[in-house]
Amino acid sequence: MTIQKKDLGAAVLATEYAVRGPIVARAQELEKQGKEIIYCNIGNPQSFGQRPLTWLRQLLALCEYPALMDIPLAVFPADAVETARAILEGSRHGMGAYSESEGLRFIREAVAEFIRERDGIGADPEAIFLTDGASKGVQTILKLLLASPTDGIMIPIPQYPLYSATITLYEGRIVPYYLDEADHWKLNRSMLDDSLRAARAQGTRVKAICIINPGNPTGSVLDEKNIAMVLDFAREHGLAVLADEVYQEDIYLPGDRFVSFARVLEARGIRDVTLFSFHSCSKGLLGECGVRGGYFEYRNVPPDVAAQILKLLSVCLCSNLAGQVATYAMVHPPRSGDPSYELYNREKKAILEELKLRAALLVEGLNKIDGVSCNAIAGAMYAFPRIMLPVGVSDEEYCMALLEETGICVVPGSGFGQAEGTAHFRTTILPPTEKIRQVVEKLSAFHESYVLVKY
Ligand SMILES: Cc1ncc(COP(=O)(O)O)c(C=O)c1O
């Protein structure tokens, strides 16, 4: 028998992931026909030419092929060789063996140390799990939480579709809460209350609230007050919190800084809210999407639940070892005085300065287009401009027409969710600066003519 689509589960068929949807498929078709495509649909930094950090790649190379360590130190700096040796010793069996399901112990210790330094709080390596990117951690926790078809998870609108797709796949209920576009996409308490009330009125047992900070696709950065408000809300209503903090390095506006949920939870001495925090090697200055490294940390989880998390992770044996080493490189950069320190800092500064410049350039350009408005990109790697469209025209149609005419591939706002009656698209800030200028020019000309013709 060959498997037929009709044999597949309803949840599988209902699962959608807009970032790689029909517009991208069409872009690939056009590209095959020879059209130049500017892919602005996905936050995949190295596909736009962002160079990997030398430190990370040296560690990976040395760990994958330890014979390289015998090459004179002129090729690999002494601290990279020393660190790679320590990683291999810590791994005991090298890169080709399974590790413990939760990830190599000494890397989890390094993650705990990173959290302690970043937040000035305690961190327990036993509460840290290394995962194949943040996605795998998010999926594990959603699986853990969704116990029946009436269980729901609050997710932001707009959101990153990993959340909507996974909740659909695991047959839970999506409980949308709206971010306030008029207030730089921040959260506000009344919108959270409205969302929870509406869900409960429909018989949904709301288990958790998910927050993406800095925001994808919104580019917003939450301050301590906003985070405290969410924690208080979760506490009052008995919800767990999923804090997706994969963009914590990408903060662009003066005066803003990344504040972790863990830090605020500890500062307020909260012991009755379960927190899961996620981080990744895919974003920030690493941009190592293909390496699939990441981790999550939990707080306020009783031992019998922790055992279930470990069991879920054990089903896939362990996360990939290269990803674990990349996570080590992320949380353990060269220190002042180390041979690799200067180059590391130079590369870091260049990447973050470039992203900051592109973010500003893109927003300025978008806001000059009549009928397009965009909040400042305070963090992450995306703009989510609002577009005024003629009545009856959908954002999908607009994005498809934009692709056909200009070769610019963006994702319609409907793929992330948006307030009724509004239309948006998401574009990354990742194309090189010159390409960003082209994107803005082409978009501007396209928007004017498209809206004119449709009216
Ligand atoms: C908000 C958010 N969370 C999680 C992920 C997943 O990243 P990865 O699985 O590559 O770590 C992404 C990727 O774009 C993201 O934007």
What's the pLDDT tens digit per position in 403-413? 999 999 999 99
- For the CA of 138, the closest atom of ligand 1 is 4
Q: Ligand 1 center to residue 184 CA distance, Å?
A: 21
CATH classification of 89-331 is 3.20.20.70, yes or no?
Answer: no
Instruction: Give me the sheet containing 411-412, strands edge to edge.
Output: 382-383, 425-428, 411-412
89-331 and 5-50+344-454 share a CATH fold: no
Pocket test for ligand 1, best of 282, 377, 411 (most atoms within 8 A of CB): 282
Q: Ligand 1 center to residue 252 CA distance, Å?
A: 19
- For the CA of 215, the closest atom of ligand 1 is 1
Question: What is the per-residue DSSP string for 357-379?
Answer: HHHHHHHHHHHTSTTEE-----B
Residue pLDDT, tens place only, 6-23:
888 888 888 887 667 789
Residues written for the chain: 455
Q: Ligand 1 center to residue 134 CA distance, Å?
A: 6
Average pLDDT over residues 311-318: 92
Burial of 391 (0-12, 13-18, 19+ CB in 10 A): exposed
Q: Ligand 1 center to residue 45 CA distance, Å?
A: 12
In this prediction, residue 73 has a pLDDT band, given cuts at 50, 70 and 90, of low
Q: The tokens of 59 are what? A: 């560690």
Residues with CB under 6 A from ligand 1: 43, 133-135, 160, 162, 212, 216, 244, 246, 280, 282, 289, 294
Mean pLDDT of the chain: 93
Q: Ligand 1 center to residue 95 CA distance, Å?
A: 24
Residue pLDDT, tens place only, 327-342:
999 999 999 999 999 9
Residue pLDDT, tens place only, 396-448:
999 999 999 999 999 999 888 898 889 999 999 998 888 899 999 999 999 98
Q: Where do the domains of the chain lie?
A: 5-50+344-454, 89-331
Q: How far is CA 381 from CA 277, 354, 410, in A?
A: 19, 11, 13
Q: Ligand 1 center to residue 2 CA distance, Å?
A: 34
Residue pLDDT, tens place only, 219-235:
999 999 999 999 999 99
For residue 18, the model assigns a pLDDT of: 67
Q: Ligand 1 center to residue 19 CA distance, Å?
A: 11
For residue 360, the model assigns a pLDDT of: 94
Residue pLDDT, tens place only, 240-251:
999 999 999 999
CATH number of 5-50+344-454: 3.90.1150.10
Nearest Cα residue to atom 16 of ligand 1: 216
Residue pLDDT, tens place only, 253-299:
998 999 999 999 999 999 999 999 999 999 988 999 999 999 999 99
Q: The tokens of 355 are what? A: 């992203």
Nearest Cα residue to atom 14 of ligand 1: 43
- For the CA of 216, the closest atom of ligand 1 is 1
